[in-house]
Amino acid sequence: MWLQYSANRKGEHPQRHLRHWRGILQADAFAGYNALYEDGGIIEAACWSHARRKFWDIHERQHLLPGTLAHQALERIGRLFAIEADIRGRPPDERYAVRQERTRIELDALKAWLDQALSQLSAKSALAGAIGYTLTNWRALTRFVGDGRIEAHNNAAERALRAVAIGRKNYLHLGSDAGGASAAVFYTLIGTAKLNAIEPQAYLRYVLERIGEHPINRVDELLPWAVADRMNTERALPLAA
């Protein structure tokens, strides 16, 4: 896991953070990312959860009534999520095969339904806006069908940032940009420790007990994936009598 701090939402920040990186970037359709995709080195994969949320907000405002166009859209998107639930954790080639067999059919039907529904709506309606968002980002939203490595949504990243969102109001009047950058480092270490099945507090204690005497040019030896086996081995050793 890798987190970076930005003082605001200007596009210059992701451009700086990712200037040397090439690959597939899965994110919402934030305009600040657009410049990243211009030279083709970074490929955009959009998030179905963000598209779905726009229909859900309308469905809530309509008191969750069944049968509305918003509800129909949610049901159709739900079929995509159901297929993803069936293949979660499978190797990329298996996910690709299932998506080609099942997901592509659902997407074709959804695309036709969205086009038809949009023709019935006022261009200024909230539902037209939700459909327009989905159709405008259709290429990026369907990128996952052709690549088994890509998720249908970026929920994993959203979950990783939940702690930041919960604590954000507490930090509103504290610290500085330098403090934000330091917090990003700590969130990165804690999140990476979790991904390596290490309890974060135990990891930080382990590092703090050793870093004072550890060579600065070998600090990478104290990163979570480097110490995971060592920590587990030490915890398993019997205590001296």
Residue showing tokens 């970026």: 154
> Could you tell me how far CA 149 lies from the centroid of its own chain?
14
What letter does residue 22 receive in the DSSP assignment? -
Q: What value does the CA radius of gyration of the chain take, rounded to a whole number of Å?
A: 22
Three-class DSSP labels, 136-192: HCHHHHCHHHHCCCCCCCCHHHHHHCHHHHHHHHHHCCCCCHHHHHHHHHHHHHHHH
State how far the Cα of 227 lies from the Cα of 230, in Å rounded to an integer: 5
List per-residue pLDDT tens for the chain, 241 residues long. Answer: 888 888 888 999 999 999 999 999 999 999 999 999 999 999 999 999 999 999 999 999 999 999 999 999 999 999 999 999 999 999 999 999 999 999 999 999 999 999 999 999 999 999 999 999 999 999 999 999 999 999 999 998 888 777 777 777 766 665 788 888 888 898 899 999 999 999 999 999 999 999 999 999 999 999 999 999 888 776 654 544 4
